[in-house]
Structure formats: C-alpha cells, structure tokens
Structure 1
Amino acid sequence: MNDVIVIGCGPAGLSGAIACVTYGLKVTIMDEFMKPGGRLLGQLHQEPTGDWWNGIKVSEQLYQQALNLGVNIRCGVSVYNLEKEDQMWKVYTSIGTFEAPFLLLATGAAEYPIPVPGWTLPGVMSIGAAQVMTNVHRVQIGKKGIIIGANILSFAILKELQLAGITVNHVVLPEKNAFSQNAGVPEEVMKSLLNAAHLAPSPLLRFGSSFMKNNWIRKMGLTFYPKKGMKVNGTPLLLRKAAVEIIGEDQVEGVRVIDIDINGNPIPGTESTYEVDFVCIAGGLYPLAELASVAGCPFQFIPELGGHVPHHSESMETPLPGLFVAGNITGIESGKIAIAQGTIAGLSIVKHARKGNNSIDNQLQQAIQNVHSVRKQAIIKFNPDIELGRSKMNELWESLYVKNETPGKMTG
C-alpha cells in the first residue's frame, strides 16, 4: 500500500519522494523513460565559480539517495489516466492500477514544435533530442549543422554540442507564421535575448546590450545588424535570416534561408542555402501538464511561466485534495529550482499526512525561502519575467482558495 505516488522521476519527483520517505511515508515513483533523472540527464554547464553542473551526476546522487531510503522506483511505465475515488487517487498505468491518498505530479516540460517544410527528413530533430543523444546516449548527431530558433534553451545546448566536438555553423530564426509566432520576429527575439546578455562571451556584447534595451537603439541595431551575424561562442547568430525549407533526398543536405526585416517579413530575392547534415529546431519549452488536466485540476494561462499551468500554492498544493505539483509543470525553470520545489511538495505531503513533527511548518517555510534564494541566484532564466509569473499564480491562489475559503481546498 502506497502513501504517495510520484509521477515523474526527474529532479522534482526524486527530491519530493526523498522528503516524503524521510518521514516514514511509503513512496512509489513512476516514469515513462527508461532511466531516472528526467531532463537532468542532458544538462552540462559551467557555473560562475568554475565548477561544472553535471546533470547525470546530480541525478545519480538523487536516485541513489531515494533507493537507499526505500523509494520504489519504476521506470519504463506510462501513466494514461487518473481518478479520485473516495480518499484515494487511482493511477492507471501500462503495468496496472495503483492507489494512494497522495499524488505528486512532477511531469516536467516538453518542447514547442515549430514545423518547417522538410522537417521529416532524417537528421532533423528538436534541440532537446540533440541534447539527449549527445549527453546521454553519446551519439554524434552530425558533423556540421544549423539551429533554427534563437532562445535561451538553444544557446545552452549549443554550448553542450560544442563541448562534444559537434560543429554548429549558424543559428537562424524560423519563418514567421502562426506556429513560430514571436520566435520568427527579430525584434521580439532580441528583447528576450537581452535578458541573458550577462551570459554573452564578449565584454563588448555585454556592454552594448545595455544600450539595446532602448527601443529606438534596438530597432537601429537590428536594421544594421551584420549580414554575417554576431558570434555566440564562435557560432554566428543570424537574426535577419529565417529558415524557409530543409532540403535533401534521403537525409538532410541543407537549409534554404531568406533575409527578413526587423518584423520578420521576408525580403524577396535574398534566398540562399547552407549545406548541413543535421538540423536542430528550438521552439522553447512549455509545462507538461496533461495529467493535471485529466485529474480535473483547474488551469491558468500565464505566459511568464511558459503557458497553461495548474492552480497551485507556494506549498505546491492544488485545489484537489491530495494532489500536489512540482517542477516545470508549474512553470519553466532550472533543474535546481525543480529540486527545491520537489522538497516543498514532499514536506507539504508530510504535513497533510500528519506525519511530521511540530517543526514541519518551519521546515516548509524554510524550503519555500530556499526556492526564492535559488531563483535569485539563477544564471539562466528561460522566462525573464518568472517572478512576475509566480506572483500572478500566488495572487490567484490567495483570491480563489484562501480569502474565499473555496470548498475542497486542503487544510493542514
């Protein structure tokens, strides 16, 4: 008999399970991937201190800690339905049905697809797939390639590909359409990238970026943006070129691009072709929250959090008794935030299960403060206005479930 079922064996799920089992709760984690770790498995970057953040090592540490504490970990298991019956959550999976009074959804994030003509050719993949193939499976995805989509995620993984000895010749924008939206508009892309200017490899770029936050100067800068682009870790970022088509017979052979104006509109007669053998499409991330919807949890669209997110408090509880969330399902942030949120969710479950001692409230508040601290120290923010997004959700929770004391809200 499980006390807690955790869906998602990434950083949030593992840390949440550890917090629960530490207080004597019986926990089972399920994940459809064959290995524990979630998106941690592909992460590799250098911290400002010079130390390396190795996601594989971090995930292994969390996994071993969970195992040693007695967490039951089931990988390769798909969950397709959730139901609440009396006081129990019923979890329908590919290996049978499980029950528990408490359920933690830590399902993470997925990538926005941006369709590009020719994207079904062998050698075309999402930027996240390139990260997993390179860092997890140790597969060389190609010899020379191109990234379609300029965002924080694509630049983080660009560096990882370069560390693996893989050459990325250019970063271009997707063609502006209903699917790409702002990702195909140079000025909007520039705005988003300026929020990560402190990561620029050149002091000149870091200095110049402060001026580019002025609307007029930014428009001038884009108008006269170098045709050969500006280099990011040695790879030209071409903000005034958009991918029109991926070409090839049996595999990727090249990408046809066209010059665009600062609003993303194509300039006739400016087409050219880059020869490459792989293409990575980077559309960004959104919360993978379908299971919360299946469970009946209400949602709110908050762009600063990455899209539609389930209603939740700072304690990671939802309006549905016994249902908790943590990690990127609540908004797109780093693996460190996911670990910290998982701890909050675990402690919240302990509190609601009445298993903690008198200090559990203090520990919970400390865990919440830790999330704020980790967020302030974050080097990379996938959504620059994440604090605003979190404030919106906190205000929504207060107005709907605290002030009005809506029936169904959990109490400690």
Structure 2
Amino acid sequence: MKTTEILVIGGGPAGLSAAISAGSRGAKVILLERDDFLGGQLIKQTHRFFGSKREHAGTRGFKIAEDLKDRIKKLHNVEVMVSARALGFYEDGVVTVLKDEKMHKIKAEKVIVATGAHEKFLPFINNDLPGIYGAGAVQTLMNVYGIVPAQRILMVGAGNIGLIVSYQLMQAGVEVAAIIEAAPRIGGYLVHASKVRRMGVPILTRHTIKAAYGTNRVEKAVICQLDDKWQHIPGTEQELEVDTICLAVGLSPLTEILWQAECEMIFVPELGGHVPLRDENLETSVPGIYVAGDCAGVEEATAAMLEGELAGLSAAYSLGYGEADFKERREQIVTNLQNLRSGPVGDKIRAGLAKVRRGA
C-alpha cells in the first residue's frame, strides 16, 4: 500500500497542471498516467495556442507539454508513475493501479480525476473499413510518429479539431477533398476555417457521411445533405474519391473512475456526455474527490490546464497548503476561465456548466 496526500489520475494537460499546482505548494503528490509518456493530447498538437501569455499563447502544444514535464521534474515531492492504469476506486478510498504487470494500491487523502476523453464514432455503411480513423489517431500518426496517413482524405466534422487536423494534413502534403459538418454552421473558430478555405478546401455544412466503399480499404465515400430534422435528403448523394476518412465528431468524457467512486453524475450534451456535479472548487459530490479537464466536460486544452490548476490549488488548500495566495490565485483562475468561455463560441460550454454546479 502506497500512501500520499494527493493522487492525480491522468497525466494530460489537466493532470499535469493539477500536480504542479498542488506540488508547488508543498503537498505530497502521486501522478498516474496509463501511457508510457506524459502530456496527453498536447504531445500531438503542433498548432499555436490562443489566450494570454500565462496560458501559453503563441506556444505549440507539444512545447507546452515539454514545459509542464520540466516543471514536474523539479518537484521532488511529486512522484510520477507512467504505464500505470487506475483500475478501480473502492469503498475504503483505495485506488488499485496496474503497473509492470503488478497490482498496486494507493490511498490518498484527496484524489483529482483528470482522465480526459475518448473519441466518438459514427454509424454508417462500411464504417469498419481500413482507412477510417479518428482525428486523434491521425494527429498521432503525423505529429508523433511522422507517418503521412493518406493521399486524399475526407474530414467529417468542422469543429476546431477537424479544422486544425485538416490544415496539418495539407501541410504534410495530403489533399483534403472536403470537410463536412452535420450542423448548420461551423463549430470551430473562424480563424481555423479561413485557413483551410483559403487553400481551396470546401466546407459543407448540413452534410454527413452515408457510406464508405472499397475492396481492402477505403476507396470512396458517399456524402449527403441533411434536412432541418437531421435526416438524409434523398437525391443529394455525392461520391468522393478518397483513400482515407477522418472522423472529428467530438469527444466523450472518460468517467469510469468517477462512477466507481459513486460521484453524482448528470448527462449534459453540451459537455459531451455524463459528467460529475462539482462545486466552485471542482470538488465532486464525494468529499475529497476533485475533477478537471475533459472528464469534467469536453473543452479546449487551455481550459483543461486552468481547471487542473484550480483543482490542485483547492485540494492542496484543503490540506493546509498554499493558504497565503489561495484566494488571489483562485480568483485569477476563475477570471481566466470566464474570459476563455466568453462570447458566442462559449455559449454551449456556459450552458452546460450551468447544469453541473452543486448547490446552484
């Protein structure tokens, strides 16, 4: 049995930020990551971030991951366990972890769950053909392993991920036949959409994929228009000659640990699925369990890092650490999150967050 003051589950942007926030204030922290590397989604993100300088504006995602990992290494009170999968949260508060083919038990006074999210998929004819990827897999192949996954691709989804990955594909020499979006308008930032449009890529709203065809792998895709009730419009089918289909149709929070811990959960479509209720300090309905990042509601990496910092700050403060600057730093984080979620782009997130506040 290992014991610690704070256990952080997940070594992506939220988990790293939480561990740094709590560890830098003196708390003893264990950070778990199921992969053999830290950084999560950041390591595959080559685009520059928006926001303020403190939130890494102008810095590419993989560089942010390097910075966070460097800061973790300097904190001798933070123990990092990679290739360590949290399997269960039990009634006595013990978390069971699989590492090196051995079971480990960890008992913490506070737990921060920052497990991220997984990609959604779409039902359509032959959606199991080779050559059909999630956008995260395409980013990993290109930006982590240097593998060009396609020659001509159809991108399904015009949110930020779909738009950014489309631009990165074109930078790698891949032809993007089209970007299709089921919604009546583009979901991502217009600055990303403008970049791909300037390169001649059509973005077709109210369109979806109907089928994929090919002998041993994708050879063509059939797309069609949708009506106001999101139903296929007969006679609007188009065939596109492509060798790859990339699905960027959203993420779902990874919340298994939170369910096991019996946190009160609620289905919030604006946040990607079932998420935990939480208070203003990101503490769930189970005392001592905090949540941050995409498992609390799917957003951008900047929001995940800010939430991670807030969860780490709050958990450490509850143990008597960081009392001198808690109130000031908490107000700064909350203000930065509000600014990040402001304007029309943040409408959906704000609507979702209004449903998950405990005591509201």
Please classify the TM superposition score into its range, dividing by the shorter chain length.
0.7 to 0.9
Q: Deviation string for 1:114-133 (max 9, x for gaps)? A: 12222222211111211221
Cα contact 1:314–1:368 (8 A) shared by 2: no
Write the letter of the residue equivalent to 2:147: V
Going from structure 1 to structure 2, the CA distance change for 1:270 and 1:307 (only over 3 Å counts) comes to: closer
The answer to whether structure 1 residue 94 and structure 2 residue 102 are counterparts is no
Q: What is the distance in 1 between the residues matched to 2:68 and 2:197?
A: 37
Cα contact 1:44–1:52 (8 A) shared by 2: no
SS at match of 2:274: strand
Write the letter of the residue equivalent to 1:37: G
Q: What residue number does 2:349 align with?
A: 386
Going from structure 1 to structure 2, the CA distance change for 1:259 and 1:200 (only over 3 Å counts) comes to: closer
Going from structure 1 to structure 2, the CA distance change for 1:74 and 1:329 (only over 3 Å counts) comes to: same
User: Which structure 2 residues correspond to residues 167-316 of structure 1 after superposition, within 5 A?
Assistant: 167-173=175-181, 183=182, 189-191=183-185, 193=186, 196-197=189-190, 200-201=193-194, 231=197, 233-239=199-205, 241-261=207-227, 263-316=229-282
Q: What is the distance in 2 between the residues matched to 1:347 and 1:288?
A: 22
Q: Deviation string for 1:326-370 (max 9, x for gaps)? A: 111222211111111111111111111112334433333333223
Going from structure 1 to structure 2, the CA distance change for 1:232 and 1:318 (only over 3 Å counts) comes to: farther
Q: What residue number does 1:365 align with?
A: 331
Structure 2, unpaired ranges of 5+? 52-56
Going from structure 1 to structure 2, the CA distance change for 1:258 and 1:325 (only over 3 Å counts) comes to: closer
Cα contact 1:297–1:310 (8 A) shared by 2: yes
Name whichever of 352-361 and 131-140 sits farther off: 352-361
Q: Deviation string for 1:91-144 (max 9, x for gaps)? A: 111122222111110011222211222222221111121122111222111111
Cα contact 2:276–2:356 (8 A) shared by 1: no
Q: What residue number does 2:24 align with?
A: 22
Could you state the TM-score of these two structures normalised by the residue count of structure 2?
0.88
Q: What residue number does 1:212 align with?
A: none
Write the letter of the residue equivalent to 2:120: Y
Q: What residue number does 1:350 align with?
A: 316
Structure 1, unpaired ranges of 5+? 174-182, 184-188, 203-229, 400-412
Q: What is the distance in 2 between the residues matched to 1:167 and 1:231?
A: 13
Write the letter of the residue equivalent to 1:126: G
How far the C-alpha of 1:260 sits from its partner, in A, is 4.7
Aligned residues: 348
Name whichever of 37-46 and 11-20 sits farther off: 37-46
Q: What residue number does 2:151 align with?
A: 143
Cα contact 2:154–2:178 (8 A) shared by 1: yes
SS at match of 2:35: coil
Name whichever of 361-370 and 26-35 sits farther off: 361-370
Higher normalized helix content (fraction of residues):
1
Q: What is the distance in 2 between the residues matched to 1:44 and 1:13?
A: 20
Could you state the TM-score of these two structures normalised by the residue count of structure 1?
0.77
Name whichever of 8-17 and 238-247 sits farther off: 238-247
